[in-house]
Structure 1
Amino acid sequence: MASRPATLGRFELRRMLGKGAQATVWLAHDPRLEREVAVKLMRPGADTETVGHFLQEARSVSRLTHPHIVPVFEADVHEQQPYLVFEYVAGPTLAESLRAKGAMPARDAVEMMLGVLDALTAAHAAGVIHRDLKPSNILVDGEGRARVMDFGIAASVNAQHVQQVVGTPGYMSPEATHGLKPAPAMDLFSAALVLAEMLCGRQLLIEKDPFRAMYRVAHEDMVWPKDAAGDADDALRAIVMRSLARDPAQRHADVAAFRKALQEWLVPAGADAPAAGQAAPSSSGTLEFLLRRMRHKSDFPAMSDSVVRIQRVANSETESLASLSSEILKDVALTNKLLRLVNTAHYTQSGGGSISTVSRAVALIGFAGIRNIALSLVLLEHMHDKGHANQLKEEFLRSLMAGSLANELLPGSKEGEEAFIGAMFQNLGRLLTEFYFPDEARQVRKLTGTKGVGGSTMGEHAASISVLGLSFEELGLGIAKAWGFPESLQRCMRRPVGDFPTRPCDKADRMRWIALAANEVTDAMMQAEPGRASSAIAAVAQRYARVLEISPRDMQAAALLAQQRLAGLAQAMSLSVQPGSPVRRLLEQPGGNGTAKTIVDDADSLSGHELQATIAIDVTQPAEKPFDQDAAAAMLGAGIQDITNTMVEDFKLNDVLRMILETMLRALGFRRIVFCLRDPKTEMLTGRFGMGDDVDSACKQFKVALKPAPGTAPDLFSAVCLKGADTLISDATVPNIAARLPAWYRQQVNAPAFLLLPLLMKGAPFALIYADKAQPGGIQLGERELSLLRTLRNQAVMAFKQSR
């Protein structure tokens, strides 16, 4: 077993993930950012050239940002040990997967390769050639997505060329074996070899002797094995073989052209969803088809990425409040809407007082509650500027009502949060069909209720299968799986079938029945005549009374609470209601008294063009305004109150510190903010964590000396901290200021305007809050704002004292 240090800098090495000739890769924990990472270590005694390749990898990958490329977080040397830090991707390499499972189904292989080709397209656009693409350099994450890694011998297309043979024999292109100048065609050839291996279950070129392998690829045409496994048809083989031509001019023009050919094989020109009445393909094939169509829409990838990120953090056993807060803070629109929502009556009643920071909201409402709100907002956020906005709005509010009701049926229970998502997302397939395939959605509505074969009435389930080739439920479950929803939630989303149980059932099944009951009650309320909603609710509740152990009166009370909650959410989301819409009945008390009528009163007073403008979905953010000192002071004051409320209770020090930094960042629009803490071993203030742009890299640079070397004057940072003087540098480019800046700051951070707030205990500095902006003169602080900042700083000092 390979020996290893317990730590490497701040990283705690856990276990080896893999090893090669020049490096080993370890799973590690980053305590600063509270996440798992992959750390790549050079083997001891590596030569200069190898170290150069190592650093080249960091430079190459740092220029690339793509969901199918494993990003590098940082590169450094610790005690003469060079290392790189990457995102940790939990999953096997493609090589390991092929060894374990053999040839992949053709469609699965092509789908996965499209992601690899997207990654290569992004790299080539940035001028980077991978030069070592092979199955062992492709990770397969938990969603089955390919992630390209190991750019250790990557090269720039514009770099001065020195003839050199690099790559892995068996995956190199003919021109690479001759040491020709790096070009995109080399990666294209390697990608085709990888795809062929995925389709055949074995390498096309198998040679133990590496020189023999290079000779063959340079002098022999590739041949598809006659005894190859797999189900690749002639058309697909032809596409792959074209990119395996020895002459680069005979291959596809570039990676994008290869991708286009594969995409056209997946979805032939003119292919579309099956028309009503036509035989439908298998549900799995239809799901793949619909997913591909959705991915072509600009909203879907962004929506998926947001949902997956929130799901990953909220469901993790190792992520913290800070991680979820940081994820949400990346999206300004989501942050603002979430804070508006958590300050509605439903949430303030449970927490008391106003909530002005995401950190406080997460701490008060909990991971599951914030996840549910955030997922709802993500769905809503992507509905703007659609021609069929009113139909979308109705579907969204209907789903939100069902989720709210399911939650009210399990008051004060953790299961209530899961029931919320289960009930709401039992409608996910219908909602996404309405959003991405409005024509098909209209077809389903048109068929629902019509007479089918034998005179029976066609329900929505049968109508959606007839039009889409699979039911709304199967589509929703397929999306939920792609988004990483846990199995328990997916099960809750699947409606139970068959007769009602004659006795109370287990927890998992009861959740499904609650979700179904919530949806049926919601439909009954929408369809009820004015003044008859209570009777409609009681009729549904009567059917579910035995299995759910809920009386009609309890169901009516829960429905009232859910309506009140829906009214507050709709108002916070700026969702007005179109007159005459059945959804409007959900915003009125059972019996028609209209508790939420204020939401639509303004619309009722308008007519014509004004009314049309009012009823559209309003999810856009106002244009950015100039710096508003009153608004900044109000936000700082609210944050101070929020933090005070938190510190009255049991609290975690890091949570309070992050609330302080977040308040400063959002109120004053800093580019980034860094918290530094004294290292007793070095007597330096070092960056520990922060928020904002490129903050991870900035944190690493901060090393403020509290004991300057004998005979040397303290630099500006040291002097400020030793004197405990709050300092605003509005223009750090002024010569007499620039001359006092420490070298590490000028070389690595070098912001033109920054603020320093030292933290002192017993007269000695022990921490520092640093904040900056990207323009000289960008930080504008009056006495009021500076006083509020000092109060926040003092709260940080108090938090340290109380936590000791």
Structure 2
Amino acid sequence: MSETTSSPSAAPLRRFGRFELRALLHKSQRSMLWLVFDTHHGQEMLLMVPREKPSGEVAMLQWLKAMDAGSRIHHPNLGHVVETGRVDPWPYVTYDRALGETLEERIARGAPLPLDAAKWVAQALEGLAFAHEAGHAHRDIQLAHLLIDPADHVRVIGLEVAQETLPADADFNATRRAVREAAEEDVVSIGLVLHRLLSGRPVLDEQDLRSVMQRMQPQGQELVRMGWETPYPIPDPLRAIVNRATDRQARQRYHLARSFWRALDGWRLSAEQDDGGPIALLKDKMQRFGHLPSTSTRLVSTAMSSAMASQHASELAALALKDMALTLELLRRVNNALRQQGHASSGGTVLNMQRAIAMMGLNGLEDAARALKPWPGPMNEGQATFMQSLMRRVQRAGQVAQALRPAGYDGEVVYLINLMQNLGRLLVQYHFPDDAQQIRQLMVPPEPTEEHPNPRGLTEQSAAYAVLGCDLESLGLAVARYWGLGDELQHMMRRQPPDAPVRHPDGDLDILRLTCSLANELIDALLLPERKRQTGIELATRRYSRALNLGLREIYDALGAAQSQGETNSGVNDPSVGAAAAAVPRSRLRERAEQQATGTRKDPP
């Protein structure tokens, strides 16, 4: 449709059928949005038409049929279609102006707060996800195609207006594939909408988001990432979400509107409530499936047998420590009991299995064992296999931490602190295995290219932000608070950030926290590709050497001791970590450690 009539005078077009054209609200490559007045009904309407008219009567009927099907999709976040029709040679669709103003009109009065922007886009994603799941696509998401009313209720309009013309003999699979690809483009466009709202300026100085998509990688050359000069500070989780939505690597982006919505809504609820979003969902799942499943039926049966009464407390503690689920259940129960009795503030957190069993008694131990869910819970075989691998790595990190602990510190306490530092990772793998897999995939570096010969994957924190809307550590800390565990343990549960310098510890709590952080970093280093393992171990050692007074000799001995312990403990050994540790060139490590100890070689701290 053009903006002028076909009359010889070429006077400006002021009417379109029975509609008086009041204002052109938006024009993109694929569609036009007008504010019109319906002379028949005496009210203002929003009218959308495609930029290219249908090529013939068959194409016109196909357009009207698709629009009619799209108009029957009802969702609170999809604008209700008032009418579809034709003013030859142009088809059109109308919406009630009372639905609200366009998002473009709203932000002309000022940039929204990040939380408001997230709310608006989350609503649009919810409606769009519903449409995609019903087999429809938008194909031309623009800020003007999102309507917002005075109550901040957002609706998407324009579904199926910008249609793609397919051959009349196109098969079903080709049609479905075209819709799926269009839906993925819709998701990228919504990411650009969020980028526009947060940045306060047009993306790549383009008003048409379709033009932005054509210029951004991998189709074009431009990189679209959230800058630092924004109207309001952007929280790191929200920054990770919007950057993933527009990532230069198509495989790193959100492919489903529902996945994008989950991440954004998870962050939004977490920001609004301390225990909202994925934290609230995790608590609900824990009520149904327990925190972790028991890994040993035999162990639980032994714990509930009459022979248990004759065993020494240390033997019972060692038995409980072999089952991660039972260990956590005992910690939860004994510390919750202390809190209810009003002793938590004076006695601190119980971090010793022998003490926990002594306080709860044999009946309490039996109750805790009975409360456990059997393995593998709701996980399928593949998820359970990875869960076992993760639990073994956590156990191996605990053994390394025990070997690295300074003299005088209880090894069991160190082991349990290390376990709690990994609580969020374990819970996500058990309760959200698909999300855990997404996080791991985002951490894998993309394939190198000439422009990016050394690409990097996301950090674990950024990947968790992009998938869940919060980081794994926050989930673990929220559960610790939910269980009534003390502030001191919550402090020790916080791993040292990988990009922050390691300061000298202020006291015992910091010493234990840093020791476990180092142990976890060493296990992470062992899982790197073989050519990077030794460097990873040395980098971790340098980071902590001054704070913990450790060198390569101590690190090597701790890794060796943990490897030996794993080989003698069938319930602990992880083949992947064991193979990685075995592959480290130990002779060179020992040589460097001896050189460092004798002063013949000085590694930077």
What is the TM-score normalised by the length of structure 2?
0.39
> Which structure is higher in RCO with an 8 Å CA cutoff and minimum separation 6?
2
| Superposition TM-score, scaled by structure 1 size | 0.30
